[in-house]
Amino acid sequence: MAVKKKDDQNQVNASPTKRFFVEMLTRDIELDDAILDLLDNCLDGAVRTNGKNPPKNPEKPYAGYWAEITMDAEHFCIKDNCGGIPLDIAKEYAFRFGRKDNKRDQELNTVGVYGIGMKRAIFKMGTDCWVRSHHADGSFGVNIDKDWITGDDKWDLEMDRKAQVPADQGVSLEITNLLPQIQNYFHPKKGNFAEVIKKKIRLHYAYIIKKGFTVKVNDKKVEPNDFQTLIANDLKKENVIAPYLYEAEADGVNVKLVMGMYERFPSQSELDDYEEGKRAKETAGWTVVCNDRVVVANDTSHLTGWGESGVPTYHSQYVMLSGLVEFVSNDASRLPVTTTKRGVDLNSALYADVKNIMRDALKHFTSFTNNWKTQTDERASMQTQTRAIDIRDAAQSVPADKWQEVRKGLKGKRFIPDLPRPIEEKTHARISFSRHKDEVQLVANLLCDPGTNPKPSEVGEAAFEWALREAKE
Site residues (CB under 6 A) for ligand ADP?
37, 41-42, 44-45, 80, 82-85, 89, 94, 99, 112-119, 171
The window from 46-54, 108-116, 242-250, 271-279 that contacts Mg ion (CB under 5 A) reads 108-116
Q: Give the count of residues interacting with Mg ion (CB under 5 A).
A: 3
Nearer to ligand ADP, 116 or 257 (CB): 116
Nearest to 143 by CA among 173, 187, 184, 103: 173
CB of 334 to Mg ion, least distance (A): 17
Integer angstrom CA distances of residue 232 from 237, 352, 385, 398: 9, 31, 6, 10
The DSSP letter of residue 385 is T
Residue whose Cβ sits closest to ligand ADP: 112
Nearer to ligand ADP, 94 or 459 (CB): 94
Nearer to ligand ADP, 340 or 356 (CB): 340
When CB distances are held under 5 to 8 angstroms depending on the partner's kind, the choice from ligand ADP, Mg ion, none that residue 82 binds is: ligand ADP
What is the residue type of 283?
A: T
Nearer to Mg ion, 36 or 350 (CB): 36
When CB distances are held under 5 to 8 angstroms depending on the partner's kind, the choice from ligand ADP, Mg ion, none that residue 115 binds is: ligand ADP
The window from 37-45, 155-163, 242-250, 381-389 that contacts Mg ion (CB under 5 A) reads 37-45
Q: Is 45 in the site for Mg ion (CB under 5 A)?
A: no
H-run or E-run covering 80? strand 76-80
CB of 269 to ligand ADP, least distance (A): 48
The window from 76-84, 110-118, 207-215, 378-386 that contacts Mg ion (CB under 5 A) reads 110-118
| Binders in 51-90 for Mg ion, by CB under 5 A | none
CB of 206 to Mg ion, least distance (A): 20
- Write down how long the chain is: 473
Long-range Cβ contact pairs of 294-301 (< 8 A, separation 24 or more): 294/203, 294/204, 294/205, 294/206, 294/207, 295/204, 295/337, 295/338, 295/341, 295/342, 295/343, 295/344, 296/342, 296/343, 296/344, 297/203, 297/204, 298/322
Contact 286, 324 (CB under 8 A): yes
CB of 157 to ligand ADP, least distance (A): 13
Counting beta carbons within 10 angstroms of the beta carbon of residue 449, is it exposed (0 to 12), middle (13 to 18) or buried (19 or more)? exposed
Nearer to ligand ADP, 117 or 266 (CB): 117
Alpha-carbon gap, residue 467 to 232, rounded angstroms: 43
Phi, psi at 295, each rounded to 5°: -100, -25
CB of 37 to Mg ion, least distance (A): 5
CB atoms within 10 A of CB 401: 6
CB of 167 to ligand ADP, least distance (A): 15
Pairing of strands 138-144, 244-250: unpaired
Contact 60, 211 (CB under 8 A): yes
Contact 270, 279 (CB under 8 A): yes
The window from 36-44, 197-205, 350-358, 423-431 that contacts Mg ion (CB under 5 A) reads 36-44
Integer angstrom CA distances of residue 250 from 194, 336, 447: 39, 12, 60
CB of 105 to ligand ADP, least distance (A): 8
Nearer to ligand ADP, 142 or 391 (CB): 142
When CB distances are held under 5 to 8 angstroms depending on the partner's kind, the choice from Mg ion, ligand ADP, none that residue 260 binds is: none
Nearer to ligand ADP, 70 or 385 (CB): 70
Contact 301, 80 (CB under 8 A): no
CB atoms within 10 A of CB 332: 20
Alpha-carbon gap, residue 130 to 157, rounded angstroms: 12
Nearer to Mg ion, 34 or 182 (CB): 34
The set of residues, in sequence order, having a beta carbon less than 8 Å from that of 345 and lying 6+ positions away, is 336, 337, 338, 351
Nearer to ligand ADP, 82 or 344 (CB): 82
Among 83, 117, 260, 460, binds Mg ion (CB under 5 A): 117
When CB distances are held under 5 to 8 angstroms depending on the partner's kind, the choice from Mg ion, ligand ADP, none that residue 89 binds is: ligand ADP
The helix/strand/coil state of 118 is helix
CB of 170 to ligand ADP, least distance (A): 7
Nearer to ligand ADP, 113 or 182 (CB): 113
Nearer to ligand ADP, 116 or 354 (CB): 116
Pairing of strands 293-299, 285-290: antiparallel
When CB distances are held under 5 to 8 angstroms depending on the partner's kind, the choice from ligand ADP, Mg ion, none that residue 80 binds is: ligand ADP
Integer angstrom CA distances of residue 42 from 2, 7, 45, 71, 217: 33, 46, 5, 17, 14
Residue whose Cβ sits closest to Mg ion: 117
Strand extents, DSSP E, 365-440: 386-390, 404-405, 413-415
Nearer to ligand ADP, 233 or 333 (CB): 333
CB of 377 to Mg ion, least distance (A): 54
The window from 105-113, 209-217, 256-264, 330-338 that contacts Mg ion (CB under 5 A) reads 105-113
> Could you list the residues that contact Mg ion (CB under 5 A)?
41, 112, 117
